[in-house]
Structure 1
Amino acid sequence: MNLQTIKASCSNCNLRELCMPMGLDDEQMERIDEIVATRRKIKRGGLLFRNGEDFTSLYAIRTGFFKTSVATEDGRDQVTGFQMAGEIIGLDGIVNDHHTCDAVALEDAEVCVMPFDKLEQLSREVTALQNHVHKVMSREIVREHGVMLLLGSMRAEERLAAFVLNLVQRLAARGFSKSELVLRMTREEIGSYLGLKLETVSRTFSKFAEEGIVEVKQRHLRILDTEALKRIVNSQQCRAD
């Protein structure tokens, strides 16, 4: 693993608004800068942390894309999430002081290391930081509930449409296109996350393409009709009513 220590500075990072609270004064920002003093580079396919490893830090993704996964009893890899720049990863370790999943880089990535004991100590003194950490945790809980709903009651088309919309929405918040993206994960990994077979994911993408909703060229995806994707997702709510 390529480990590189550089002086990280949250105060001038372009992702600051995404992973740090707003409205901190210079002194508070300086104190956070002192905590987040280390960056770590992870090569594509490399592990940021593994299941069972001691939990010491949270990680703010600076560049790159990750997947989290757990090994099932029959040895398969079950993908539990995809994380991108500006998001915090490692929250799974807080409960029992050890990580409960593997975090693998889907492309060359860089993270800012935030030692949790120091972060906890500072958040007791800086209310805005404490509130922010709570918000990040809450967002993760809401996301997991959303995934459970997705897997519990949606058809394949609805699952994939919801996944694509969620992904593009998160990328758009980071200043990327609202209609074009490069899928960093494989069809198999998407299927694992959505509880679908690889063939079903490929077939559903083809169906969307035939209907003029998306254009797919290998990993490049262009959304041609966002409203159609939203209608597919909302059709699930209509059936439930």
Structure 2
Amino acid sequence: MTSATACAPTASTSSTAMPLAYRPQSTITESPPPGTRAVTNCSACSLHPICMPPHLSTTELARLDAIVCSTRIVRRGETLYRAGDKFKSIYAVRVGCFKTVITHRDGHEQVTGFHIAGEPLGLDGVCSDEQNCDAIALEDSKVCVIPFDLLEDLCHDVKAMQQHVHRMMSGEIVRESGLMMMLGTMTAQQRVAAFLLNLSKRMKTRGYSSAEFNLRMTREEIGSYLGLKLETVSRMFSKLQQAGVIDTNGKQVHILDSEKLAGV
């Protein structure tokens, strides 16, 4: 499954320094309050290898730093943007995680994605010049604000940046098609297994344990994303635990047998 997920990982035993995105939440409170502009140095950020293209020159990095000139703090439960808001910027999650939600005419909410540090938010607004969903913080979070018009100018001059933006947009297409395939062809147990495997892969990319991590979304939110009822999600977690594939304690998940999980 290629869909995005949101969580806070459990650090591995590696001596690698903890990336900013997964430091304890107390570091977030030291940042400027919402709306305050702050210098954001992309070239020095621990997430640079994840959310920006490699091999940029010193000059190109300086131009990128000049574009990403502010950050915004979004507290748990607060909204970064809402459906219908005018599209002006895309955002890079620097700390924390978000869910994206679409509200149907009858008031029913559908979770369409989970986004963690190093991933973009807001690309859905490019096609219509307005946001098509709500982006809500699942924990105290921080995003880098990237004005899209300035990013377009940079892409015009820096081919590597243009290619990176194209990859991000392509990734959204792949994510959507993967979700449709999952909803149309997988059983409930396979959906939950694919969700956990995708999460495991993303944690490994960020230098954390691929076997142990903490979920930031609720079982109900997972069910909304996977097209399952809350009771079904809980039952599938219990079934996988009884089979000795995973071990769960609240929102903490420990994958005991990744090969068996992939074979569900």
TM-score category of the 2 structures, normalised to the smaller one? over 0.9
1:200 aligned to 2:223? Answer: no
Structure 2 gap ranges (5+): 1-32
Structure 1 counterpart of 2:118, from 86, 110, 114 = 86
- Tell me: higher relative CO, structure 1 or 2? Use CA pairs within 8 A at least 6 residues apart: 2
Structure 2 partner of 1:224: 256
CA distance in 2, matches of 1:133, 1:15: 16
Query: Shift of residue 73 of structure 1?
Result: 2.4
Structure 2 partner of 1:129: 161
Query: Shift of residue 175 of structure 1?
Result: 1.2
CA distance in 1, matches of 2:36, 2:112: 28
Q: Secondary structure at the match of 1:69?
A: strand
- Where do 1:73-112 residues align within 5 Å? 73-112=105-144
Q: Partner letter of residue 36 of structure 2? A: Q
- Where do 1:158-237 residues align within 5 Å? 158-232=190-264
Structure 2 partner of 1:38: 70
Matched-pair contact (CA < 8 Å) for 1:50–1:102: yes
Q: After superposition, what is the alpha-carbon deviation per residue over 1:80-109, rounded to whole angstroms, capped at 9, x for unaligned? A: 000000001110000000000000000000
Query: Shift of residue 2 of structure 1?
Result: 2.5
Q: Which 4+ stretches in 1 moved above 6 angstroms?
A: none
Q: Secondary structure at the match of 2:263?
A: helix
CA distance in 2, matches of 1:175, 1:52: 36
Query: Shift of residue 3 of structure 1?
Result: 2.5
CA distance in 2, matches of 1:191, 1:137: 25
Matched residue pairs, number? Answer: 232
Structure 2 partner of 1:28: 60
CA distance in 2, matches of 1:42, 1:58: 15
Q: After superposition, what is the alpha-carbon deviation per residue over 1:92-144, rounded to whole angstroms, capped at 9, x for unaligned? A: 00000000000000000000000000000110000000000001110111011
Query: Shift of residue 74 of structure 1?
Result: 2.0
Query: Shift of residue 164 of structure 1?
Result: 0.5
Structure 2 partner of 1:235: none
CA distance in 2, matches of 1:172, 1:9: 24
CA distance in 2, matches of 1:104, 1:119: 24
CA distance in 1, matches of 2:202, 2:169: 17
CA distance in 1, matches of 2:242, 2:47: 37
Structure 2 counterpart of 1:61, from 93, 103, 107 = 93
Query: Shift of residue 4 of structure 1?
Result: 2.8
Q: Quick one: percent identity of the two aligned structures?
A: 51
Structure 1 gap ranges (5+): 233-241
Q: CA RMSD in A?
A: 0.8
Query: Shift of residue 163 of structure 1?
Result: 0.5
Structure 2 counterpart of 1:119, from 148, 151, 164 = 151
Structure 1 partner of 2:171: 139
Query: Shift of residue 148 of structure 1?
Result: 0.4
Q: After superposition, what is the alpha-carbon deviation per residue over 1:179-227, rounded to whole angstroms, capped at 9, x for unaligned? A: 0110100000000000000000000000001111111111001000101
- Relative to the length of structure 2, the TM-score reads 0.87
Query: Shift of residue 171 of structure 1?
Result: 1.6
CA distance in 2, matches of 1:68, 1:171: 20
CA distance in 2, matches of 1:44, 1:131: 33
Query: Shift of residue 49 of structure 1?
Result: 0.5
Query: Shift of residue 172 of structure 1?
Result: 1.3
